[in-house]
A and B are shown apart, each in its own frame.
Chain A
């Protein structure tokens, strides 16, 4: 009897400590569309964009988005290094997201692959799905902050517990990602409307407190900037492959 109880407790502990699986949205890929292994098909249809509490977003407007393909993972250092021979990275971090890359360099890589950078709407739909998620992985978690101040990226395929409803990795916890849109908000003057590109999906840090950003959270950056916290992924239309 005692052994039986021990086994039961062990099984409860073992399965209780397992990673939460992210609820996925079932997608039927239309016949004739070929989706490359490293991309995800995002279906056409409505989704909620922005949030009413965030005035620089679409404030919860329903947007219709055509179907498209998006990279399942952020572009890695190894991948970017095969495009730009001068790009140096530690071999142990080959699967980490490419960073210290300007907007033009990111765009250049995507074009070289026959792809392009996603626009903001595509990015948000890929992260949020059609069920209005605040967090790509739906449930709210505190960031597992280790009391350290400084950006610590992770391998692009490390976190299957934080994937989006379409199975896209890294949308809200790893690097910020360049999108093709200029940052414009209600306060932006016409002369300033082409100063910054929108970046999406990173974390914020204030002293040693790290926070995930919601799927609709917008950040901006001068296109010439290159920092350790900015990377990118590519997208394309459904017939690009």
Chain B
């Protein structure tokens, strides 16, 4: 028997199957875009862990994203003036932008241009009690984080509305997230719905559900930046700047 002029015999079959095995070593993109979902049982439209080239997505509790008809930001606790903000209210605040690297505790990091407002703006509007030394944040995906108030007013800590010139995407925390570049990614809470000022520290999601500290300050060690082909680079602790990153003045 002949196909395309080739005689079909045992040798042909062996050659064909050997060659087809080699395709496993070809880059995936030859065959189209991979499905980056980590758990195939979660519906595709859910926000969930995805190893997207350039910037991985991490989501502790996969969900459909924020329904803006329902969303508001509640600021409460030990404050003189509790407030409830709608999305539009946040655009009246003074905008600050910066390029900073988000360093995941799992080892990878990625950079983006972030735009938002400083936490001091929130403080000025609600006037916390001087005894309120801690801040507890909750999100639409049942996630929660805790900080000292001092940490949130450090330079380069921002409440973020836009990323890379666009409103935050669903994957990156629309409508509001935190960027604290000296803290591991898990501290950079997305989909924020409430900010509570307290006089004692509450625990955060990953210190209860995993092996990660409440503090989450980036420690000296090794980073695998996605924009450097995940090659290992040493980091000295705190906000990550690689030799190819532009440092703020």
Residues of A within 8 A of B (CB): 147-152, 176, 199, 202-208, 219-221, 225, 227-230
The answer to whether A225 touches B213, judged by C-beta atoms less than 8 angstroms apart, is no
29 contacts between A and B (CB under 8 A): A147-B211, A148-B212, A149-B105, A149-B213, A150-B212, A150-B215, A150-B216, A150-B219, A151-B213, A151-B215, A151-B219, A176-B220, A176-B237, A199-B236, A202-B220, A203-B219, A203-B220, A204-B219, A205-B220, A207-B106, A207-B107, A219-B236, A221-B236, A221-B237, A221-B238, A225-B238, A227-B238, A228-B217, A229-B220
Within the complex, the shortest CB–CB distance from A100 to chain B, in Å, comes to: 9
A227 with B237, Cβ < 8 A, contacts A149-B213, A151-B219, A204-B219 known: yes
In this complex, which of A149, A203, A204, A221 has the most chain B Cβ atoms within 10 angstroms of its Cβ? A149
Within the complex, the shortest CB–CB distance from A129 to chain B, in Å, comes to: 24
Chain B: number of interface residues, binned into ranges: 10 to 19
For the A-B complex, the count of residue pairs with Cβ-Cβ distances under 8 Å equals 59
Which residue of chain B is the closest to A150 with respect to CB atoms? Answer: B213
Within the complex, the shortest CB–CB distance from A232 to chain B, in Å, comes to: 15
Besides A149-B211, A150-B214, A203-B219, 4 more A-B contacts (Cβ < 8 Å) are A150-B219, A199-B236, A219-B220, A221-B238
Cα(A147)–Cα(B213), bound, Å: 11
Contacts of A230 in B (CB 8 A): 237
Nearest 7 pairs of A and B residues by beta carbon: A150-B213, A205-B219, A206-B221, A204-B221, A206-B222, A205-B221, A148-B211
The answer to whether B215 touches A228, judged by C-beta atoms less than 8 angstroms apart, is yes
Contacts of A152 in B (CB 8 A): 213
Within the complex, the shortest CB–CB distance from B181 to chain A, in Å, comes to: 12
Contacts of A207 in B (CB 8 A): 105-107
The answer to whether B212 touches A204, judged by C-beta atoms less than 8 angstroms apart, is no
In this complex, which of A148, A205, A206, A219 has the most chain B Cβ atoms within 10 angstroms of its Cβ? A206
Cα(A84)–Cα(B219), bound, Å: 26
